[in-house]
Chain A
Amino acid sequence: MATAPKTATATIDNGRSQSGFAAALKKALLSALVALVLFSLMIGVRTEAGSTGQLIYWTRFTELAGVVAAVFAGSLILELLRSWLGPFDAAGLIPASAEQPLKTAQRLFPLALLAFTLVFPVIFYDQRYILDLGILVLTYVMLGWGLNVVVGLAGLLDLGYVAFYAVGAYSYALLATTFGLSFWICLPLAGILAAFWGVLLGFPVLRLKGDYLAIVTLAFGEIIRLVLINWQSLTGGPNGITGVPRPSFFGIPLTPGDDGFAARFGLEFSPTHRVVFLYYLILALALLTNWVTIRLRRLPIGRAWEAMREDEVACRALGINITTTKLTAFATGAMFGGFAGAFFATRQGFISPESFTFHESALVLAIVVLGGMGSQLGVALAALVMIGGFELFRDFEQYRMLVFGLAMVALMVWRPRGLVGHREATVFLHHRTEISAELSREGRG
């Protein structure tokens, strides 16, 4: 796709715009024609089961015309932009003089972001919806950081990450409802159980590479979900588990009663207390994930993960045990997923298998890849973009997945290497280095 616009820009100005316009028009017409054929039946004809069960249909030619016109216009604009601006080049947009201040900004940005997340509940104290959205985004940040260990660092493609999220959520829900254990005891247990399942999944897939690994992890995720649906006596089946205990403020319940948080601290009871507490809880969990990951990267185990992503054969030749290296990556990633799951269960108060579909796995994987594999900051930004963007389409509920899917395609085509396209070296002799992701391999596992 790169050559055509380049030759167009090489010709002289006058001729360029003219021939560019003609070519763009031609392409747009062609796109519109294809769209017309594609949508003629799917949009032009609407089917529905009638009152007697008999299938009826009616035509919708105006809608069809509208969509085809939209494709024509969109394609024309895109082609014109492409021929006028030339191939999009992010590097060319930044003048050389701005590079140094930009680098400083880059250093300060994560700190500013962190400061913002810390004061976030104070700013939006009265806006329950925004607080909830913040919690949601942070949950996905945490999931993204957890999966990043497996996919970004170790280079193991995991399409069933949601399974560990589910294990964590159900572990907490079951332990809390049947044994009455508190959240703070269940949280580590949920993490351990999820890690255990991570190892359990890890064993059979040790020898698998690339897409075989992807499909087996996907199958694993589906198996867990199907078992959750069908093992009614334990999991409540499709109805899920209700009445999952809400978290307490380190033993003090966040309820309006006399021994509740508000009464003890002499505050007026407000349901917002709990939301704010949940916000800080997930923030703390996410930051813990981040801190552990950053530490692990600088330890031999983390370096072995990254080395394994780069070249498994070379790792073996250096005496690195690939089996344990893979299993620890799976277990670590799964553990964080389990923590997030326990949090999800306590936040919702209700869980069902519906929350743990392949869609969730894909969403988290998209966050990791869009973030730029292995970059902590990138993952956080991607979670914000994806979940935030998703929320913007809340009012267009039925078009949400359509837009989300197309956005995923567009983002990948635009930035296949993700938002932050470099990895930071874990150790240095002279100066910190950032290595372009172009050099990194993505792992074959």
Chain B
Amino acid sequence: MAYFSQQLINGLVLGSIYGLIAIGYTMVYGIVGMINFAHGDIFMIGGFVALITFLILVSIGLTFVPVILLLVLLVAMAMTALYGWSVERIAYRPLRHSFRLAPMLSAIGMSFALTNFAQVAQGARVKPVPPIVTGGYSLFERDGFVVQLSNIQIIVVITTLVLLALFTWLVSRTRLGRDMRACEQDQTMAALLGVDVDRTISMTFVIGAALAAVAGMMYLLYYGLVDFFMGFVAGIKAFTAAVLGGIGSLPGAMLGGLSIGLIETMWSAYFSVEYKDVAAFSILIVVLIFLPTGLLGRPEVEKV
């Protein structure tokens, strides 16, 4: 029971990170109907930017951890958002009304380019950082197993919850959110009614990238390392999460992220670590067979 509780906590934390990335996928898919393959790499860039900012802040003598974290968060979000914006401008906007496979291939190309860019710019080796946030709580003990809840885990979950709430508010209550939903339904009509479609789509990419940057930073804090290749696997799993939750749905993305996180941790804990990814992907396939539009996705009615 204690072991299970510990895995539950670990799974939820990992799931939160996946969920944050998945939101970026789901939003972009909802509005432009394409898989933003480069999103996993945006997450990786976010991790790197957070790492470098952190190094600089420490070296100029900042020691107060909350201030460091806040500054790192802001810089990472802003800079990664600019990456998201640029990627859309260069690789997707020219192809917006093109046929479906062209933007997808362009996105895959962008993903390769970003991965390799990080490798060339920052080297191929893993970048470790010393633990920034330490400490935690022992929740309870049973059968000699102590269930731990670390401060960093609390930070990850709280940040995710706050961002999710903020984001839900943004989409449902603000002008931008309304524009986004309008573009999702019908871009031409939205444009006729005075919605700046280009700007709205750009903003979607910017927000998605900012959230991915948060995920990247959380990953850095939680695992204490980044490397240029981490975007690929995390990206696939986050996209899996988005699909699992029902693509286009924000709560779905979060739910899918948590599911994937839990499946992965539980599988590693009780079965085999080697096959954790196989488990995650297999469950995706099984879910899609029975729920072709994911857990919370709207069923697609075929008009005849």
Residues of A within 8 A of B (CB): 1, 34, 37-43, 45-49, 53-55, 57, 151, 157, 204-205, 207-212, 214-216, 218-220, 222-223, 226-227, 229-230, 313, 358-359, 362, 365-366, 369-370, 373, 398-402, 404-409, 412-413, 416-417, 442
Q: Which residues of B contact A218 (CB under 8 A)?
A: 236
Does the CB pair A47–B52 fall under 8 Å? Answer: yes
Q: Which residues of A contact B123 (CB under 8 A)?
A: 46-48
B interface secondary structure, majority: helix
Out of A226, A399, A442, which one reaches B99, CB within 8 Å? A442
Q: Which of A54, A55, A219 has the most CB of B within 10 A?
A: A219
Q: Apart from A41-B79, A400-B116, what are 5 other A-B pairs with CB-CB below 8 Å?
A: A48-B125, A55-B127, A208-B292, A406-B113, A412-B103
Out of B111, B112, B239, which one reaches A215, CB within 8 Å? B239
Q: Which of B100, B109, B232, B274 has the most CB of A within 10 A?
A: B109
Does the CB pair B288–A362 fall under 8 Å? Answer: no
Q: Which residues of A contact B274 (CB under 8 A)?
A: 226, 229-230
Out of A226, A366, A398, which one reaches B119, CB within 8 Å? A398
Q: Which residues of A contact B288 (CB under 8 A)?
A: 204-205, 208, 212, 216
Q: How far is the CA of A204 from the CA of B109 in the complex (A)?
A: 28
B248-285: CB near A (< 8 Å → 1, else 0) gives 00000000000000000000000010110110011011
- Chain B residues 45-97 with CB under 8 Å of chain A are 45, 48-49, 51-53, 55-56, 59, 79, 82-83, 86, 90-91, 93-95
Does the CB pair B86–A34 fall under 8 Å? Answer: yes
Q: How far is the CA of A404 from the CA of B120 in the complex (A)?
A: 14
Known contacts A209-B300, A223-B281, A402-B117: A407-B56 contact under CB 8 Å: no
**Residue of A at shortest CB range from B80?**
A38
Q: How far is the CA of A369 from the CA of B102 in the complex (A)?
A: 7
Q: Which residues of B contact A47 (CB under 8 A)?
A: 51-52, 55, 122-123, 127
Q: Which residues of A contact B293 (CB under 8 A)?
A: 212
**Residue of B at shortest CB range from A224?**
B278
B302 within 8 A of A: yes
Q: How far is the CA of A398 from the CA of B130 in the complex (A)?
A: 29
Out of A157, A222, A398, which one reaches B277, CB within 8 Å? A222
B13 within 8 A of A: no
Known contacts A226-B277, A412-B102: A1-B243 contact under CB 8 Å: no
**Residue of B at shortest CB range from A151?**
B101
Q: Which residues of B contact A34 (CB under 8 A)?
A: 82, 86
Q: Which residues of A contact B230 (CB under 8 A)?
A: none
B139 within 8 A of A: no
Question: 26 A-B residue contacts at CB 8 Å?
Answer: A1-B93, A38-B82, A42-B122, A47-B52, A47-B123, A55-B51, A204-B285, A209-B292, A215-B35, A215-B239, A215-B240, A216-B288, A219-B236, A219-B281, A220-B285, A226-B277, A230-B278, A362-B112, A399-B116, A402-B120, A404-B109, A405-B114, A412-B95, A412-B103, A417-B98, A442-B100
B191 within 8 A of A: no
Q: Which residues of B contact A151 (CB under 8 A)?
A: 101
Known contacts A211-B29, A219-B281, A399-B120: A413-B52 contact under CB 8 Å: no
